[in-house]
Amino acid sequence: MFEEIFENVRRNAPLIHNITNYVTVNDCANMLLACGASPIMADDQEDALEITAICGGLNINIGTLNRRTIPAMFAAGKRANELGHPVVLDPVGAGASTLRTETALGLLKEVRFTVIRGNVSEIKTLALGSGNTKGVDANVADRVTEENLSGAIEFAKGFARRTGAVIAVTGAIDIVTDGERAFCIRNGRPEMSAITGTGCQLSALTAAFAAAGPDCPLEAAAAAVCAMGLCGEIAYERMTGLDGNSSYRNYIIDAMYRLTPAELERRANYEVR
């Protein structure tokens, strides 16, 4: 199934509209191109409305959130809903500031998201209505481990049922669930967290996969999460003793460019619970 969805990305080259932060936007664009999709960025409200209409999916990311672009997020999200396009939310830093938390909660009320992807602290903030995330990384106390995995799955399932969205909680173990089934994914490398924007790239990728698999958002999101983690593994194998996080960033995007749908199917490492 992952193979088929990824083949669709490569075949259909969905155009993905990103309203995203300026820190990692270039990597998101290159990751979208690497997977076979096509990126466009537009964050002026008027422009965003039209651009979203010509796209196949929308990715809203609240990193470097500011008053100028928030209206564009709401407007484009609603337009994408009207058009039946998949919409992904990446609540970067939700819980770390009132503006980010309130904006993310407001978006949840007014836009129907196909997938919400964040770290566990961000997702907890959205589910509980408040949080105290320490920046853009998950709080240590929140982290999903083998010990607390069952509880984390139930929590994610509950939030998925309440929102109607596929919830993707990513970290050492990733959980992707639609409220009924949960993919527990063990692809990836811890070194990926030493690169800025691997989460942002994954959210952009998820929008592309969701656009290519409109009838199976759960599988599409799980495939994107597996693909990103797998590229982290492949890229890690390529690292030399001189390479660090900057080369690793390039290698991950390169790995996505080279990844075949068959290899994704074969090396995806998950169980369904």
Binding site for a copy of itself (CB under 8 A): 15, 21-27, 29-30, 33-34, 38-44, 46-47, 50-51, 54-55, 63-68, 93, 96-100, 134-137, 194-197, 238, 241-247, 249-258
What separation in angstroms does the CA of 222 have from each of 119, 209, 212?
Answer: 15, 9, 13
The DSSP symbol for 61 reads: E
Residues 84 and 199: their CA atoms lie apart, in Å, by 25
Nearer to a copy of itself, 19 or 226 (CB): 19
The Cα 103–Cα 224 span in angstroms is: 25
CB of 92 to a copy of itself, least distance (A): 9
**Least distance to a copy of itself from the beta carbon of 121, Å?**
12
DSSP 20: -
For residue 253, give the H/E element and its range.
helix 245-258
Indicate the DSSP class of residue 139: -
Quote the tokens at residue 189.
Answer: 């490398």
Closest by alpha carbon to 17, among 252, 44, 257? 44
DSSP 109-127: HHS--SEEEE-HHHHHHHH
What are 57's strand-pairing partners?
Answer: 16
Decide whether 126 or 253 has the Cβ nearer to a copy of itself: 253
Task: Compute the distance between CA of residue 123 and CA of residue 130 in angstroms, rounded to an integer.
Answer: 10
